[in-house]
Amino acid sequence: MIPSALREALKALFGEQGCLDRPEDLTLYEYDGAVDKARPELVVFPRSTEEVVSVVKLARDYGVPIVGRGAGTGLSGGAVPVAGGVMIAFSRMNRILEIDLANERAVVQPGVVNLDITAAVETDGCFYAPDPSSQKACTMGGNVAENSAGPHTLAYGVTANHVLGLELVLPDGSVVETGGKELDLPGYDITGLITGSEGMLALVTKITVRLMRKPEAVRTLLAIYDSPEDCGETVSEITACGITPVALEMMDGVMLRMVEEATGAGYPMDASAVLLIEVEGVRQAIDEQIEQIREVCLRCRAREIREARTAEERARLWKGRKNAFGAIGRVSPTYLVQDGMVPRSKIPATLRFIQQVAEKYGLTISNIFHAGDGNMHPLILFNARKPGDLDKAMRASFEILGKCLEYGGSITGEHGVGIEKMPMMPKQFSPQALETMRRIKDVFDPEGRLNPGKMLPDPDPSRQAAAAD
């Protein structure tokens, strides 16, 4: 429970418009895009680093937990305040502070929407590469916390590959700057450590990112299949030929029909799977790559290959992919999405296993994923109002993640561990590795007040086993 003195101090600092504590307001901040819920006791909206420092120091003085929050689009419960306390919402720290086109850099606040960076520089021939499917809404602070990826990760990498420097507020209220515009600075890579730490080590208040130049040409294909396995095999065959598309996205029949009904993207309703393939670069080089890709798709029994002939057609194909998760709401009131990783060669086997899990639990599971890097996204549809349905969905998801580990993959590729995947961490990491992570957490946050209850499972094996059950 927040002490009344702290509550009054924060209200005095932020006023009525910058501080929420009514139950009806707090309800909006008790969840993200996953299934877990927990309500903060108070939400504040700072506009500057100095105001963040003031909140952190007050919370420190009263021993109260702090959770940072961006747009709430996360998919693992990373911003859910399981211990209550004060939530710092960064939506008002939404300014692009600097654009340095000559050096292909930008400096932004954590509340800047991902796509707004590209919008600010695209007329100058630049863009910001990481593109989560929620890029119209997700904000940069959350992207840094979760090391977000997206459809174009195959060629461009994840957020960590494009974040060069950070300004941080530590749990004791001190401000630290890491990295910068320069490459390969000496010393430990604290920027890399913070990126992907899920808001457990520091609060990010400023981000220096890399900008990229737009390619000369872009071409987008839609390969259509009567078998998901043939579609999955194509992914391995394309990369085996030495071709690296900028995007290689797969949807199974269940998913593409939901997407097509919702968006009218032009996907064939009778297909069992489609592969969305994009290549870019020098025009002559990608012409050759397109022909090679066509040959591979046909060799892997694609029944048809379509190419976007205009920018509008390309945008429509991507509209379907980018709005896929929202399309599910027309079919199921709730769903659980996972993001386990497998080697590309294991995609067909993983798809078969996911279908077996769906049949075992009597659930509908659709698949849409970043096939190029083996980042699986099984979406498990369930009814939260039906007793036992959520439990079935969670058990199904853990079986799928377990198979990803068995195949040499990972329990998460971009969504983070958060609350949801904590029971799987001991299956991914040794006790020694987990203890090392806890020691790092203790260095930054010795009192354990910053985003507690995330990522790192209880070190007591009996309590961890109970949580997993």
Model confidence pLDDT, tens digit, residues 87-110: 999 999 999 999 999 999 999 999
Residue, of 329 and 272, whose pLDDT is higher: 272
Q: Please, are residues 150 and 131 in contact by the beta-carbon 8 Å criterion?
A: yes
- Report the pLDDT value the prediction gives residue 329, as an integer from 0 to 100: 83
Q: What are the distances in angstroms from CA 97 to CA 116, 139, 181, 207?
A: 13, 15, 14, 10
Q: How far apart are the first and last CA of the chain?
A: 29
Considering the chain, what percentage of its residues have pLDDT values greater than 90?
A: 91
* Residue 172, helix vs strand vs coil: coil
What's the pLDDT score for residue 326?
85
Q: What is the DSSP string of 354-418?
A: HHHHHHHHT-EEEEEEEGGGTB--EEEEE-TTSTTHHHHHHHHHHHHHHHHHHTT-BS-SSS--T
CA distance linking residue 402 with residue 273, whole number of Å: 24
Query: CA-CA distance, 307 to 287, in Å (whole number)?
Result: 12
The set of long-range contacts for 187-191, using a CB threshold of 8 Å and a minimum separation of 24, is: 190/166, 191/163, 191/164, 191/165, 191/166
The answer on pLDDT for 463 being more than 80 is no
> What is the predicted pLDDT for the residue at 460?
67
Structural domains present in the chain: 4-89 (3.30.43.10), 96-213 (3.30.465.10), 217-326 (3.30.70.2190), 328-422 (3.30.70.2740), 429-468 (no CATH)
Q: What is the pLDDT of residue 270?
A: 96
Sorting pLDDT into bands at 50, 70 and 90, what band is 466? very low
The more confident residue out of 81 and 326 is 81
Write down the pLDDT at residue 467.
Answer: 42
Q: Quickly state the pLDDT bin for 458 (edges 50, 70, 90).
A: confident
User: 65-79 as b/e, with b when 16 or more CB fall inside 10 Å?
Assistant: bbbbbbbbbbbbbbb
Q: What is the rounded average pLDDT for all residues in the chain? A: 95
Give the CA angle between residues 400, 403, 407 to the nearest 5°: 140
Residues listed for the chain: 469
Distance, in Å, from the CA atom of 259 to the CA atom of 133, rounded to the nearest integer, reads 14
Residue range 148-158: mean pLDDT, rounded: 95
Residue bearing tokens 């007329």: 123
Question: pLDDT for 343-370, tens place per residue?
Answer: 999 999 999 999 999 999 999 999 999 9
- pLDDT at position 325 is 86
The model carries a pTM of: 0.95
Query: 3-state secondary structure string, 102-118?
Result: CCCEEEECCCCEHHHHH
pLDDT at residue 151, as a whole number = 94
Beta-sheet strands, E only, within 180-255: 203-210, 212-213, 217-225, 247-252
Using a pLDDT cut of 70, give the percent of the chain over it: 98
pLDDT at 302 over 50: yes
- Complete edge-to-edge strand list for the sheet that includes strand 175-179: 96-100, 105-108, 203-210, 163-169, 175-179
Q: Is the pLDDT of residue 468 over 60?
A: no
- The arrangement of strands across the sheet holding 19-20 comes to 19-20, 42-44, 86-89, 66-69
pLDDT band at 224 (very low <50, low <70, confident <90, very high): very high
373 has a pLDDT exceeding 50: yes
Least confident of 184-198, 216-230, 321-335: 321-335
